[in-house]
Structure 1
């Protein structure tokens, strides 16, 4: 028996060694795919040597002798560090995820193919200006140089069992289209309003459920600063004054003139709020060539710097949320055509072949109209009436890359504005500062001119009567140079003051973040760099300020609720991750958002001004069903507090950060056993309305969106400027630098935003090859 046990133990040991050997071999193979960061590499396509330096945090500084070589090297480095991310992004834009991921992504591919993102990217590439095309082609050549270099591919390719195809120009442009889609949500708002009206909700009631932007709330521009003449603003139809889209990406930026700073020169700060993931959306770089010297945040897959500074100017962006999408209700004629201008036009049918992993293929027939694709064909629960989409980002021509190339090189306000004359979509709030002390703002983009009576807030008949009548001219765009107030704040709040000649949209973010930034900027006579950091990290929610009077009035239903209410009334509203009051307030407000569920058909309705009006004036939804007692809205608020405390006890936590965590999932591997290597979570504070934003899923309390990048530029001491993004520079989940910036980001720390290379810099020399 002992002999058998020894043999069994010996065999078990051999099996364990064999498994460990396989695991070790796989680990060694995967580690071999880490990017080369030192030495020399010969690459066909370069005209002269290029230096690629990396500091200890992985920030890359590329120094080249020509712009073409510089962008070639940028494409090469992006591919070194983020090839899998770039591959995933272009497959999203192409609608080709199912080819490698199977039927699980087939519905997503159908949706993306129906919209025609890649078709639009191919059309735009064919119409690029020569300088623009040369930049795109140089970048693409750099990506392909990496693919041809013989370097091992990132582990995701090995795990999924395929190799990437060579890159092309449309692969670059399609991600710009996807970013535009991510930042343009009007089509969803139109569908929402259409659905609510179909439920029998009146226009007047809709105004109560989704209140208009407050007239006394801050606008980005003041009437006294505008170049365009103001007019008497007529109130639009009740239905059309709506509140912000619930899921539109948000951001903050502000710029302060030297008259308000301790240095006598401007400060410019920016933190775009986008989806969080592993790796980060951004890649920090400095790019240097004759006539081109810029540093900031780049997008893997796209040439140039999107947000940053050069030697003379700095800029930052937030989403305007301009209404550049319209849905058109089609009078369908037998499924073969639609009625337009008195005629029946046949649908143009675009056939899309979607390969599915395993050798299958699905054929999708997309109906197209004079407006664009019939996107309701791709919805899971389509409305009864088919709707076609008109969207500026599906236009045949798009020169947004030309705009960014010009911004990167601009030396003054005039050159900055001239560069943006090429800008298309998504419209952004650009704040500007320069070394001479000027500050400015401009909202560029292709803003549709609509017929009077068509505000773009609800679907309109697609019969030709409501077609767009062109786009606004650049000289009509909202802009200001050196405003009298001495600073500019944008937080997705309303851009234009009363009387502006036309409407960019009727959807604006709640003004809480903008109001808080303004409070902090006005709190001191002179502001320093440390003040900019403090504002960017601020997590005091003005939402609590508005709802505190409700707590004062409600009658707690239990002793525990009474105790908690007293603690909340003594609280200052700071949503710190260590705060128990922040946890209770978040849970209570979440319960309040359930108020109109029966009426609107949605579990959570995060419209604070509707909820406040209900608490102050009453609302039909406050009376609970199946009870003899007629409940008031304060009764509902008291019951909501009890439910919040029940949920807190079930969670068994005492602080906000224990459940409110910023999540960084891998796009694919998060669904596998490898997620423990790829995914990250960190405790975080804030809520949707704090400057250091912390929006959360009301079901899970997890945070999937947030500050995807932060920068603070000091125009008096540019090399003292700061930037940071979460996760790390590399996308390789076995690399030492994977996720190394996350603790800095979560802790409110920054990296130097400096051209000067640190003392310890690893340098890779890219040399011309044959």
Structure 2
């Protein structure tokens, strides 16, 4: 062959051989960066930490001092997740443009304007000396690993990045991003103003509940024509970085010892966030002098966030509280450097932020960019965010957000809860917690259970925060926050169990406003149903029952809607078969279900004909129109049911004859026809062989290489043939790709179930991807399949359960 194809020979020598040598070097370097199964690490000052990893790479840390455990947390996080930490640090500091160039200037400008790092500085100064030392020890552990000059993860090499020393502020800044992810309604609040241009008052309230009075004011109208760029950016933040969105939430429940087989209290928890690889969570076991915590830590922070310490167990869900308000500011006509506040003109606080921007690729062929300087203005309400983007928003607006308040001691709570030993100390540990607002669930070894809402939730004298308000009027400002003792709370309720699934935790008698944007009650109702079935039958519950509940895929809202769907008259045999198959379906979103495939595809097309098709084209304001179409194309199942059955609904006419353009019957049949056409195209003619799993996959995206052709398959993971729906307990928030199908981007990111009693503590878990962020590690993705099928491991004991 060498004589016959001399060009191929030269190609092999010039291209293929160097490429193979490069790959060999990469593999060797990456392998050298993998941690050993057992090691002893020296801590500055003379202490030693023993690190012992189980067969899944999960470390048990043992030391004589608690601070040494936090040092080891930094060390093992750096060992396993250094690139993730680098991305988190740059995200929180607004420094992504230094690597990725001008395309991320809007992101960096937004984060710099929010001032997350400045807020972290204030937070650090407010912490106790012990909490500060834990952060300092953690940073020292990260830097100790860096100083040992291990081979860096492959991402650093590809992007020519060198990690800087870690600091305490890097950790606290990322805790602010975690709070931002669960902050709630910023996109809803701005989107409401934009949507008000196109929807009637009744239609607006259908998608955006709450007080609409201010939408019609001059201030609201001025803002409505210029907010689309800001709203579009926030949507990009959700789509590309999994920050925010209605899918963010969690399931958690606790069961008292009197309902369990051995008298141990049970706790189950599975946080719902954007799916990514590696996972947001890092399971760990911590054994220090006084510290005995184990469970899920957040990468970048030293404590266990959700877990147990042998005396109590704790988990959490997002409270869905409205903790952000956009304030429309009024400028002085004579001096734009001043804004109105209670009848007086006040000067803005100002600072200048400098953003370094990487050259376009390939860098050798492009000139360097000058650093971009942005001026940040702040009012008494918060930073002016409407001028943070390259595409300016005309109406100046500030953002008031609880996480930006000075002296935020939220980290103190995460640090303190690991040392709590009863209900009183557990509640006390969260008294100073600010953000994010959470439902915290509790169980202890005496069989007790409890729930408490934690976080700063503002009290508003006027308005409910569902739309921007006049920033110059103190009546629309915040009048303090709900006192800790007045937050929702339960301890040993009569039924013997507590369920939280982002549903409303209070009834109408509760005196304070929390939110207008609760999740569907379907998940909470299903969890309660499954628990109640056992309790009513007198059957004692076990960890196996908790596993069954956590991976349950029945959608109660889908089951409720089925009778409405199947009441229509079919047009042909295919529609008749489809409707017959749905009758009696219980809403099970299992991968093998043909009904689940039909239902989910039908919901896609039904939402289009009900909502999106009712919107007229507006070519002048296409950016705004596109946002409104996005809102209308993503209704909940409960919203679809209301649109079809509520006598006051304007989306379709229940009383019109079938042939009428907007009759509910006609729209149902039209959307069914579209759904059957799509299913036939994707899955064939035989309805009996349709399967939801053949349409539905889950994507664990990698930042940034999921967006790079040629590298995406190496770094990301796609799991085919999965079940679940948007409001089943095993939840999946998916979007539709015309080529690839229904792709899940949000869902459970880890699972824990804990039995805690005097005679035993059993702790089972599963992470969504794997322990390592190094793609050469056997633990990069070794939990993905186990997580998908609902297997569990025992923490600190190994073994599949």
TM-score by length of 1: 0.90
Pick one of 708, 729, 749 that aligns with 1:691: 729
Aligned to 1:329: 328
* Per-residue Cα deviation, 1:437-475 (whole angstroms, up to 9, x for no partner): 110000011121221x32222211111422212223221
In structure 2, what is the Cα distance between the partners aligned to 1:575 and 1:211? 28
Task: State the number of aligned residues.
Answer: 725
In structure 2, what is the Cα distance between the partners aligned to 1:669 and 1:10? 32
Aligned to 1:461: 470
* Per-residue Cα deviation, 1:517-575 (whole angstroms, up to 9, x for no partner): 11111111232221111110100111222211212321222221111111111422110
* Per-residue Cα deviation, 1:386-417 (whole angstroms, up to 9, x for no partner): 21111110112111121112110111111101
In structure 1, what is the Cα distance between the partners aligned to 2:38 and 2:290? 27
Pick one of 764, 768, 781 that aligns with 1:726: 768
In structure 1, what is the Cα distance between the partners aligned to 2:799 and 2:48? 21
Aligned to 1:516: 526
Aligned to 2:168: 169
**C-alpha contact (below 8 Å) 2:258/2:447 kept by paired residues:** no
Aligned runs of 1:137-176 on 2, under 5 Å? 137-176=136-175
Select between 175-184 and 420-429 the one with higher mean Cα deviation.
420-429
Aligned to 2:218: none
Q: CA distance change for structure 1 residues 327 and 48 in 2, over 3 Å: closer, same or farther?
A: same
Aligned runs of 1:209-220 on 2, under 5 Å? 209-210=207-208
2:748 is equivalent to residue 707 of structure 1: yes
Select between 428-437 and 609-618 the one with higher mean Cα deviation.
609-618
Superposition deviation, residue 608 in structure 1: 3.5
Aligned to 1:363: 373
Aligned to 2:559: 545
In structure 2, what is the Cα distance between the partners aligned to 1:69 and 1:419? 22
Aligned to 2:784: 742
**C-alpha contact (below 8 Å) 1:210/1:607 kept by paired residues:** no
Aligned runs of 1:348-387 on 2, under 5 Å? 348-358=349-359, 359-360=368-369, 361-378=371-388, 384-387=394-397
Aligned to 1:98: 97
Superposition deviation, residue 23 in structure 1: 2.4
Aligned to 1:669: 705
* Per-residue Cα deviation, 1:625-683 (whole angstroms, up to 9, x for no partner): xx994341121011111111111123237321222111111111112222222110113
Aligned to 2:652: 622
Superposition deviation, residue 288 in structure 1: 0.5
**C-alpha contact (below 8 Å) 2:40/2:49 kept by paired residues:** no
Q: CA distance change for structure 1 residues 40 and 411 in 2, over 3 Å: closer, same or farther?
A: closer
2:753 is paired with a residue of what secondary structure? Answer: strand
Q: CA distance change for structure 1 residues 570 and 450 in 2, over 3 Å: closer, same or farther?
A: closer
Superposition deviation, residue 383 in structure 1: 5.7
Aligned to 1:490: 500
In structure 2, what is the Cα distance between the partners aligned to 1:391 and 1:4? 72
Superposition deviation, residue 205 in structure 1: 4.0
In structure 2, what is the Cα distance between the partners aligned to 1:126 and 1:572? 54
In structure 2, what is the Cα distance between the partners aligned to 1:552 and 1:733? 48
2:302 is paired with a residue of what secondary structure? Answer: coil
2:454 is equivalent to residue 444 of structure 1: yes
Aligned to 1:294: 293
* Per-residue Cα deviation, 1:702-735 (whole angstroms, up to 9, x for no partner): 1111111101111246443211111110100011
**C-alpha contact (below 8 Å) 1:664/1:681 kept by paired residues:** yes
Aligned to 1:659: 695
Superposition deviation, residue 246 in structure 1: 5.7
1:564 is paired with a residue of what secondary structure? Answer: helix
**C-alpha contact (below 8 Å) 1:317/1:429 kept by paired residues:** yes
In structure 1, what is the Cα distance between the partners aligned to 2:279 and 2:719? 14
Q: CA distance change for structure 1 residues 10 and 454 in 2, over 3 Å: closer, same or farther?
A: closer
Select between 9-18 and 278-287 the one with higher mean Cα deviation.
9-18
Superposition deviation, residue 4 in structure 1: 5.1
Q: CA distance change for structure 1 residues 411 and 39 in 2, over 3 Å: closer, same or farther?
A: closer
2:580 is equivalent to residue 566 of structure 1: yes
1:524 is paired with a residue of what secondary structure? Answer: helix
Superposition deviation, residue 332 in structure 1: 2.5
**C-alpha contact (below 8 Å) 1:512/1:690 kept by paired residues:** yes
* Per-residue Cα deviation, 1:411-440 (whole angstroms, up to 9, x for no partner): 111110111112111011111000011100
In structure 2, what is the Cα distance between the partners aligned to 1:742 and 1:726? 6
2:83 is equivalent to residue 84 of structure 1: yes
**C-alpha contact (below 8 Å) 1:615/1:634 kept by paired residues:** no
2:204 is equivalent to residue 206 of structure 1: yes
1:424 is paired with a residue of what secondary structure? Answer: coil
* Per-residue Cα deviation, 1:576-600 (whole angstroms, up to 9, x for no partner): 1122211110011122222222345
Aligned to 2:25: 25
Select between 26-35 and 564-573 the one with higher mean Cα deviation.
26-35
1:592 is paired with a residue of what secondary structure? Answer: helix
Aligned to 1:430: 440
Gapped regions of structure 1 (runs ≥ 5): 213-235, 760-770
TM-score by length of 2: 0.86
**C-alpha contact (below 8 Å) 1:441/1:488 kept by paired residues:** yes
Superposition deviation, residue 35 in structure 1: 2.8
Gapped regions of structure 2 (runs ≥ 5): 216-243, 360-367, 616-627, 685-689
In structure 1, what is the Cα distance between the partners aligned to 2:207 and 2:42? 63
Superposition deviation, residue 605 in structure 1: 3.8
* Per-residue Cα deviation, 1:54-91 (whole angstroms, up to 9, x for no partner): 00011110001101111001111111110110110010
**C-alpha contact (below 8 Å) 1:71/1:139 kept by paired residues:** yes
2:517 is equivalent to residue 503 of structure 1: no
In structure 2, what is the Cα distance between the partners aligned to 1:208 and 1:54? 52
Q: CA distance change for structure 1 residues 52 and 385 in 2, over 3 Å: closer, same or farther?
A: same
**C-alpha contact (below 8 Å) 2:40/2:48 kept by paired residues:** no
Q: CA distance change for structure 1 residues 758 and 255 in 2, over 3 Å: closer, same or farther?
A: closer
In structure 1, what is the Cα distance between the partners aligned to 2:460 and 2:377? 24
In structure 1, what is the Cα distance between the partners aligned to 2:466 and 2:650? 26
Select between 647-656 and 743-752 the one with higher mean Cα deviation.
647-656
* Per-residue Cα deviation, 1:305-361 (whole angstroms, up to 9, x for no partner): 000001110011000011111111111335433211112223222211110113421
2:671 is equivalent to residue 640 of structure 1: yes
Select between 107-116 and 636-645 the one with higher mean Cα deviation.
107-116
Aligned runs of 1:35-54 on 2, under 5 Å? 35-42=35-42, 45-54=44-53
In structure 2, what is the Cα distance between the partners aligned to 1:718 and 1:579? 39
Superposition deviation, residue 381 in structure 1: 6.8
1:702 is paired with a residue of what secondary structure? Answer: strand
Q: CA distance change for structure 1 residues 180 and 48 in 2, over 3 Å: closer, same or farther?
A: same
**C-alpha contact (below 8 Å) 1:211/1:609 kept by paired residues:** no
**C-alpha contact (below 8 Å) 2:705/2:715 kept by paired residues:** yes
In structure 2, what is the Cα distance between the partners aligned to 1:287 and 1:744? 24
Superposition deviation, residue 47 in structure 1: 2.8
* Per-residue Cα deviation, 1:32-52 (whole angstroms, up to 9, x for no partner): 222344455545x15321100
